[in-house]
């Protein structure tokens, strides 16, 4: 594989800098966000590279589990931060974390133990990248679904309460919104699968080819990853929507929008 120097990365960074300078006049706030995001990318990826290097040299289950939990905690925080209207208290954080833990960790264990079958199954070379891809895509689906759910409940509160007054259950009152929300959460992965190999070459497949792997083997791994991501994102979104809908109502089946607060 061709080694990249710091100078090569600096040349690529000029594209982001040029974009930020070009956008400064028309979108001053966005220009600053671009620069900050680029700096975070460099710092965070450099740090995780050093962590993974040390982890590969000491491949213990405890260290793999610890890093996985840190990744899960940060992903839960990102889900909470992206909500326009989020739940008050620990629920704003807990729904995303629980949903991702149930879905992403289960799918990752299934892939490592049953499908890949490497020994040991927690080998960080496989476990951490796989879990990272699952968490990242599940996080996006859950964030989109929760944002759409809380916003729709707020905007359609009159319709929901009218259905409750007519004797509908909470599930019936929210049925249309649940369908729209679930669809919103799965749109990114559906689009990615529909465009794979025709419009785009997915990241894992591209990385393996650049590293010298046979294209057919790279394709097999990419198909596996996309199916795993679809399952994780789908079940994670389903769990998050279920937990969020239950939180929107109390034990007397009353809509409780006071449990939501608008983000700054």
CA Rg value for the chain:
21
Q: Which residues contact 141 (CB under 8 A, 6 or more apart)?
A: 185, 186, 188, 189, 233, 234, 236, 237
Residue 201 region, left (φ>0) first, then alpha (ψ -120 to 50), else beta?
Answer: beta
Neighbours of 37 (CB within 10 A): 11
Q: Report residue 170's pLDDT band, with 50, 70 and 90 as the boundaries.
A: confident
For 167, list phi and psi in degrees, rounded to 5.
Answer: 100, 5
The pTM of the full predicted model, rounded to 2 decimals, is: 0.80
CA distance 236 to 189: 13
Q: Report residue 14's pLDDT band, with 50, 70 and 90 as the boundaries.
A: very high
Q: Which residues contact 38 (CB under 8 A, 6 or more apart)?
A: 13, 16, 17
For 168, list phi and psi in degrees, rounded to 5.
Answer: -70, 150
* pLDDT (mean) for 38-45: 90
Neighbours of 246 (CB within 10 A): 12
Q: What is the pLDDT of residues 189-221, one digit of tens each?
A: 888 888 887 777 777 777 778 777 788 888 888
CA distance 222 to 243: 31
Report angle CA 133, 140, 98 to the nearest 5 degrees.
85
CA distance 71 to 95: 16
Q: What is the pLDDT of residues 94-137, one digit of tens each?
A: 898 999 998 888 999 999 898 888 888 888 888 888 898 899 88
Contact, 96 vs 75, CB < 8 A?
yes
In the predicted structure, residue 222 carries a pLDDT above the cut 70: yes
**What is the number of H-type helices and E-type strands within the chain?**
11, 2
| One-character DSSP codes across 200-240 | B--HHHHHHHHTT--HHHHHHHHHHHHHHHHHHHHHHHHHH
């Amino acid at each position: 594989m061709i080694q990249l120097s710091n100078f090569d990365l600096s040349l690529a960074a000029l594209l982001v800098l040029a974009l930020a300078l070009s956008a400064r006049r028309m979108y001053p706030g966005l220009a600053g966000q671009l620069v900050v995001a680029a700096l975070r990318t460099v710092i965070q990826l450099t740090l995780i590279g050093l962590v993974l290097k040390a982890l590969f040299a000491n491949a213990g289950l405890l260290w793999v589990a610890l890093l996985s939990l840190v990744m899960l905690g940060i992903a839960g925080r990102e889900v909470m931060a992206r909500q326009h209207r989020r739940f008050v208290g620990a629920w704003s954080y807990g729904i995303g974390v629980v949903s991702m833990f149930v879905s992403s960790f289960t799918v990752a264990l299934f892939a490592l133990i049953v499908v890949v079958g490497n020994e040991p199954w927690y080998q960080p070379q496989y476990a951490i990248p796989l879990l990272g891809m699952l968490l990242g895509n599940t996080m996006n689906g859950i964030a989109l679904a929760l944002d759409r759910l809380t916003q729709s409940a707020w905007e359609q509160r009159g319709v929901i309460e009218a259905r409750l007054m007519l004797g509908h259950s909470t599930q019936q009152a929210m049925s249309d919104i649940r369908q729209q929300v679930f669809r919103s959460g799965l749109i990114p992965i559906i689009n990615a699968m529909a465009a794979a190999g025709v419009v785009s070459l997915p990241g894992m497949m591209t990385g393996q080819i650049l590293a010298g792997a046979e294209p057919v083997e790279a394709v097999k791994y990419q198909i596996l990853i996309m199916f795993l991501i679809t399952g994780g994102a789908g079940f994670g979104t389903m769990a998050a929507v279920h937990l969020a809908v239950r939180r929107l109502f109390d034990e007397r089946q009353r809509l409780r929008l006071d449990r939501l607060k608008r983000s700054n």
